[in-house]
Structure 1
Amino acid sequence: MDVTVEKYGYAHDRDYCAIHLTNGHGMTAVILNHGATVAQILVPTTADKTNMIMSLPTFQDYSKERNFLGGTVGRIIGRMAAGKWQVGNTVQQFTLNDGPNHAHGGDEGLDTQVFDFTTDYTAHTASVTLTLFDPAGHNGYPGNLQVQVTYTLTDQDTLTFAVTAVSDALTLCNIANHTYFNLADAGQDVQAQQLQINADYYLPLNAASIPDTGRQAVAGTVFDLRQPQALGAVLRSTDPQIVAEHGLNHPFLLNDQQQGAVLSLPGTSRRMTLTTDAPSVVAYTANHFNHTGVAANLGQYDGVALEAQVPPTADPQLSGCVLLPGQTFHRTTSWQFDY
């Protein structure tokens, strides 16, 4: 196991660093302290290495334009309907930065911040722990929030994302990682890849991309991913939900978090198995990418994000995301790779 640190920039009195975690098989996870971001997951599939995720061309690109690729997103990931949080008879209004909704923690969410970090390794693991103090009032959120994110690579080719957070006041917290996976070689999208999600129910979305009709059974629908399904077949479906979102953008309520989702590439041994303690996975097929801006190398369906989180809701009380003073938020998600 090995850990190396590469400084790739300096701005606002902060070093921008890429932390390379490498195991004995030659698998490497590259983590940026900007946004506690997974920038690359490299596995030795050939004489060279293959990147298993959507990435930007350079590490410097991640701070030029917000795109959530691999980022630690919060204080809450996903959309808050109309930007409203109701506590008792009081309604707090957050900025609307995603059409009619508040999304991904606001304009300066955790994925835009520069974290402090320390590294460690043992005979079987290599890890980096990143910490951030998010002050009360930042992005409109009450309470000072102390966030700690640890990425650990093992010699079983598993990368684990573990986050804890604690606040000194009643606040909202639903932090998750936003990596987009693509197991194919460069230049191929994910439509030939198969996705399996261990969920009997999913949440349909309204016109504002908010679930507001309760859970629906996946049986008999294009959302039945209990057995592996080719993503291309799902994306070409005429189901109104798929058409409206231009692909998958839906929460799946997990039956068993110990094998929440599996992404595989037919004809190869490449596979990623996701396990998590989150109650749901939001599957998003990179519907909006269109080869523009800093992400000009990326297009529609070039990856699939599997965001392990408390699912979004139309209920303004947001009870699943409320963090009490002194209570600790925990979330752990692991990605095990076969190649």
Structure 2
Amino acid sequence: MKYTSILGIAAILSMAFACSQNNTQEPIKEEINLMIKAEQVAEHKGQPVFHYLLDNGTMQVELSNYGGLVHKIIAPDKNGNKENITLTFDTVEEYLTKPNPFFGATAGRVANRIANAEFSLDGTKYTLAKTNGDNHLHGGVEGFNKKVWTPETYSNDSVVGVKMTYLSVDGEEGYPGNLETTLWMELTADNTLRIRFESATDKKTILNLTNHTYFNLGGMKRDAQDHEFQFWADAYTPVDEELIPTGEVKDVTGTPFDFRTPKILGDQIAANGAGFDHNMVMKREKSADMKHFVRVRHAESGRVMDMYSDNMGVQFYTGNFLSNFAGADGKTYEKHWGFCLESQNWPDAINHDNFPSPILNPGEKYTHNIEYRFSVEK
């Protein structure tokens, strides 16, 4: 049942492999070998599950069509040593049998929380599964993270990737409308992981898709509290004790949420009295503009990750509920061992009139673009 296919493209590129806002480097001239390797590793409910390796000669990204999953990201440090920088399992097959806190997953139809697991559209009330206390989280019992997507590999002279499609039928997990979603996940020659969603529905529905990768730029040697963060956000949405937004949009000034200048994560966690699991407000109005959301630096390894998106917010989660979790490479993930930067609409938006609308109507197209750009500072 297994097969392997390899596509390769070689290009000679001159590129700047890392430039921070305050740091410049000489361009590195090297040969980039773009390659995709695909292998069927399992079947799930009669559908083939594949493991994909995307390689540009400098870094590798491993994906799966199970859950639209980012399995691993293997990136060099300032000394050229390559390490996995995501929380994960050793194999894709383990995702089929072991519970996990949405490692690398595509979350949908609606990522994040919906208060009281219910919402109304045009006077019709829709009841969803309560998967997080009395609330609904990340699409339900079997959200998009547990679906087998239909995959197709592609490549050109600058990217290698996998295109995946999934049809969520009317009534699935309680949501209205037949919703067809296409997901592109690709690695570029200049060390960017691009993720793009497009969706259309035949009935009015709600939608909020994201990727839920947990990062640790230090290569999982310890927790992520030594990472430096900078957010281009001047507001956030406070939450109640169940992590449901209160409806307030609060200025970050004078709060632990003010990352407008670079801050060490551990210092801000201490100032906040706990970790973060909050929506950082990146835009007040919808637009197609790709905005620089976040820069994360890890001084010891030299790794830098810049996140860009065209969405409205980013859920900043610092692994607050991780505890004694057996992960890949014999590592045990503890509290704050990784962080998520989940580009998305504001949480529970359907229940807050002052939040950007998550409604998708027939004839409309939902689009969402995310870029994680990786580099190194010496």
Q: TM-score range by the shorter chain?
A: over 0.9
Percent identity for Structure 1 against Structure 2: 28
Match of 1:197 in 2: 231
| SS state at 2:343 partner | strand
Match of 1:115 in 2: 149
| SS state at 1:53 partner | coil
Shift of the 213–135 alpha-carbon distance from structure 1 to 2, 3 Å rule, reads closer
Max radius of gyration: which structure?
2
Conservation of the 8 A alpha-carbon contact between 1:85 and 1:317: no
Shift of the 325–317 alpha-carbon distance from structure 1 to 2, 3 Å rule, reads farther
Match of 1:134 in 2: 168
Conservation of the 8 A alpha-carbon contact between 2:180 and 2:200: yes
CA deviation string 1:224-262 (max 9, x = no partner): 00111111111222x3xxx4xx41001111158521001
Residue 155 of structure 1 aligns with an amino acid whose one-letter code is: A
Match of 2:363 in 1: 326
- In structure 2, C-alpha distance between the alignment counterparts of 1:315 and 1:33, rounded to whole Å: 29
State the shift of 1:268 in Å. 4.1
Match of 1:298 in 2: 333
Q: Mean alpha-carbon deviation: is it higher for 36-45 or for 272-281?
A: 36-45
State the shift of 1:314 in Å. 6.5
Q: Mean alpha-carbon deviation: is it higher for 210-219 or for 314-323?
A: 314-323
Match of 1:254 in 2: 282
State the shift of 1:44 in Å. 3.0
Match of 1:101 in 2: 135
State the shift of 1:43 in Å. 1.4
- In structure 2, C-alpha distance between the alignment counterparts of 1:294 and 1:159, rounded to whole Å: 22
State the shift of 1:10 in Å. 2.2
- In structure 1, C-alpha distance between the alignment counterparts of 2:352 and 2:57, rounded to whole Å: 47
Residue 236 of structure 2 aligns with an amino acid whose one-letter code is: Y
Match of 2:375 in 1: 338
- In structure 1, C-alpha distance between the alignment counterparts of 2:127 and 2:352, rounded to whole Å: 12
State the superposition RMSD in angstroms: 1.9
Residue 190 of structure 2 aligns with an amino acid whose one-letter code is: Q
Match of 1:83 in 2: 117
Aligned pairs for 1:48-197 (under 5 A) are 48-64=81-97, 65-197=99-231
| SS state at 2:94 partner | helix
- In structure 1, C-alpha distance between the alignment counterparts of 2:268 and 2:278, rounded to whole Å: 12
Shift of the 314–175 alpha-carbon distance from structure 1 to 2, 3 Å rule, reads closer
Shift of the 140–317 alpha-carbon distance from structure 1 to 2, 3 Å rule, reads farther
State the shift of 1:13 in Å. 1.5
Shift of the 263–66 alpha-carbon distance from structure 1 to 2, 3 Å rule, reads same
| SS state at 1:236 partner | helix
CA deviation string 1:73-118 (max 9, x = no partner): 0000000011121223332221211101111011010000011100
Aligned with 2:348 (options 313, 324, 330): 313
Match of 1:10 in 2: 43
Shift of the 120–213 alpha-carbon distance from structure 1 to 2, 3 Å rule, reads closer
- In structure 2, C-alpha distance between the alignment counterparts of 1:313 and 1:232, rounded to whole Å: 28
Conservation of the 8 A alpha-carbon contact between 1:56 and 1:297: no
Shift of the 128–281 alpha-carbon distance from structure 1 to 2, 3 Å rule, reads same
Shift of the 48–294 alpha-carbon distance from structure 1 to 2, 3 Å rule, reads closer
Conservation of the 8 A alpha-carbon contact between 1:250 and 1:283: yes
Match of 1:281 in 2: 314
CA deviation string 1:108-136 (max 9, x = no partner): 10000011100011121101101111111
Residue 77 of structure 1 aligns with an amino acid whose one-letter code is: A
Shift of the 264–294 alpha-carbon distance from structure 1 to 2, 3 Å rule, reads closer
Residue 322 of structure 1 aligns with an amino acid whose one-letter code is: I
Q: Mean alpha-carbon deviation: is it higher for 41-50 or for 63-72?
A: 41-50
- In structure 2, C-alpha distance between the alignment counterparts of 1:231 and 1:23, rounded to whole Å: 31
- In structure 2, C-alpha distance between the alignment counterparts of 1:7 and 1:298, rounded to whole Å: 28
CA deviation string 1:49-73 (max 9, x = no partner): 2112212232222122242111110
Match of 1:230 in 2: 264
| SS state at 1:191 partner | coil
Conservation of the 8 A alpha-carbon contact between 1:175 and 1:309: yes
- In structure 1, C-alpha distance between the alignment counterparts of 2:137 and 2:210, rounded to whole Å: 13
State the shift of 1:186 in Å. 2.9
| SS state at 2:322 partner | coil
State the shift of 1:287 in Å. 0.7
Residue 332 of structure 1 aligns with an amino acid whose one-letter code is: N
| SS state at 1:62 partner | helix
Conservation of the 8 A alpha-carbon contact between 2:102 and 2:145: yes
Which runs of no fewer than 5 residues in structure 1 stay unpaired?
A: none
- In structure 2, C-alpha distance between the alignment counterparts of 1:143 and 1:333, rounded to whole Å: 25
